Structure 1
Amino acid sequence: MDLTQTLAASALFLVLAIACGWLGARPINVLKGPRMVPWRPLMMVCVVALMLMMVHLANLLGVQTGNQPRY
């Protein structure tokens, strides 16, 4: 992935994480029944994907994040 795709994916995952967190924090409406979408686990999946995108962005900008090669 190049820089623009990484930034777009990061922005998408950030918006999705915020939206899922907001939807998961709403009070339960007993009259509507149980929620069928697990918003909190979806939020955590988006946060993990966002963290991976941040590491990938750092690698694209020249920061080495892996182990040093052993000679």
Structure 2
Amino acid sequence: MPRLGLELPPGDEPRTRDLGEHHQLVALIVDGRAAEAGQLMRGHFTHSLTASAISALEERESVRVT
């Protein structure tokens, strides 16, 4: 099975952003601010490195199928 690598933008910003959001989520949950935590989590799912990897895999699969 071929391997797929994800090229990240240069610099630490994507990883730093993801880690910062993880810390923010914990703080919001501990503070009982569930609505804000939920909003941040939805945005995190959309823009995280994991979302980028999934998008790249889906794009690769759609190109391979067509």
TM-score class, shorter-chain normalisation, is 0.5 to 0.7
Structure possessing the higher radius of gyration over alpha carbons: 1
The answer to whether the 8 Å contact 1:13/1:49 transfers is no
Greater helix fraction, Structure 1 or Structure 2: 2
Asked if 1:43 is matched to 2:37, the reply is yes
In structure 2, list runs of 5 or more residues that go unmatched.
Answer: 1-7
What is the TM-score of this pair, normalised by structure 1?
0.56
The answer to whether the 8 Å contact 1:55/1:65 transfers is no
In structure 1, list runs of 5 or more residues that go unmatched.
Answer: 25-38
Q: Deviations over 1:21-67 (max 9, x none)?
A: 0000xxxxxxxxxxxxxx211101221222220212x26xxx41346
Equivalent residues in 2 for 1:28-67, closer than 5 Å: 39-52=33-46, 53=48, 54-56=50-52, 58=53, 63-66=56-59
CA RMSD, aligned part only?
2.4
Equivalent residues in 2 for 1:18-29, closer than 5 Å: 18-24=26-32
What is the TM-score of this pair, normalised by structure 2?
0.59
CA–CA separation in structure 2 for the residues paired with 1:40 and 1:7: 24
CA–CA separation in structure 2 for the residues paired with 1:17 and 1:65: 27
% same residue:
6
